Amino acid sequence: MVKNTVTTIGGATRDIMFYTDDMILLDNKQDLLRQKLIAFEYGAKIYSEEVYMTFGGGGMNAAANFGALGIRTQAILSIGDDLVGREIVLELKKKKISSKLVQMQKGINTGTSFIANVGKFNEHVIFAYRGANAKMDLTKKTTKKINTPWLYMTSLSGSFKPGLKGLFNHCINKKIKVAWNPGKNQLAMGLKGLKSYMANTTVFDVNRDEALELLVSVKGDKVKNNINQILKQLHSYGQELTVVTDGAKGAYVYDGKKIYFKAALKRRGINTTGAGDSFGSSFVAGLIKYKGDIEKSLKLGILNSNSVIMKIGAQEGLLGKADLKKYKL
């Protein structure tokens, strides 16, 4: 029997995609961590002519991407014992992703996200109900079942800290490579809280705002918004590869010797939801497929994230294994 190559851990949600232009974008450059704001009229009713129901969540998005690229994948997800949860399991099976480690929680609903897409680039704000995601079991009972060469981890909810320690210990003992795209709750730990884990991570992947947030947590207002400094300062915490995405500009990778950059494609997307998940998991898929070639992996990440933003839904525009030939990958 062919073994799985990647285990993904993270969220699984029903996404409600809501599109509107009935808002104002505000510059807020005096706040390094909140440089743009979206404003709606207080007390107003906001209408949309486009609403879509899709699947999302970092763990499920990454699993769908690895599977589409021909990499055998299993997913550790936490869902409710409800209709949406059962639909998620069926979707995983349809995409040939192993669901044997999916946890179904009694008496709690599957996570749901309301995603407001606004502005000429359809940037988004996500209103998230974590639901069953916050009940994920990361005790030894679960982690001992991870036997793949790679672990791809996204945002974790609930009381994740005890499980995180055990998870990393398991990966160290089993020599499992960890790629980590931390979520809001993990970023809130700051660099002091994350440094022991980063030192045992192969790929540490954040966007530019998140990187600044982490550096501010230890250096305060001394942090400069300079990408070379951001990469090198973040890399000093011990991970093998530091990845910083920079929205419509592109993405950077630093391996301790060289800074790699790949510009984003100049195509206007219709939906940015899932672009980060697609980029990060595609980059790791590239490292697996192309034997650690950073430049080819970056190219795959940029191409796939661009493909995702051209379709509505975090998993709808994913490239398949057959698509790679036309891009000479």
How does residue 219 score in pLDDT terms, banded at 50, 70 and 90? Answer: confident
Architecture of domain 59-107+133-321: 3-Layer(aba) Sandwich (3.40)
Point out which residues pair with 54 in neighbouring strands.
15
> Average pLDDT, stretch 225-247?
96
State yes or no: pLDDT of 1 exceeds 60: no
Helix axes 58-68, 83-94, angle to 10 degrees: 20
pLDDT score at 123: 75
Residue 281 to residues 62, 69, 92, 274, 304, Cα–Cα distance (Å): 6, 10, 16, 11, 10
Q: Let me know: does 127 contact 116? Beta carbons within 8 Å.
A: yes
Pairing of strands 50-56, 13-19: antiparallel
State yes or no: pLDDT of 140 exceeds 80: yes
> Average pLDDT, stretch 79-93?
97
pLDDT score at 121: 66
Region of 188 on the Ramachandran plot (φ > 0 left; ψ -120 to 50 alpha; else beta): alpha
According to DSSP, residue 129 is labeled: E
What gap in Å lies between CA 189 and CA 6, rounded to an integer?
26
What gap in Å lies between CA 286 and CA 2, rounded to an integer?
20
**pLDDT tens digit string along 21-62?**
888 888 888 887 788 888 999 999 999 888 999 999 999 999
pLDDT score at 16: 94
> Average pLDDT, stretch 101-119?
92
Prediction pTM value: 0.90
* Percent of the residues in the chain that have a pLDDT greater than 70, as a whole number: 98
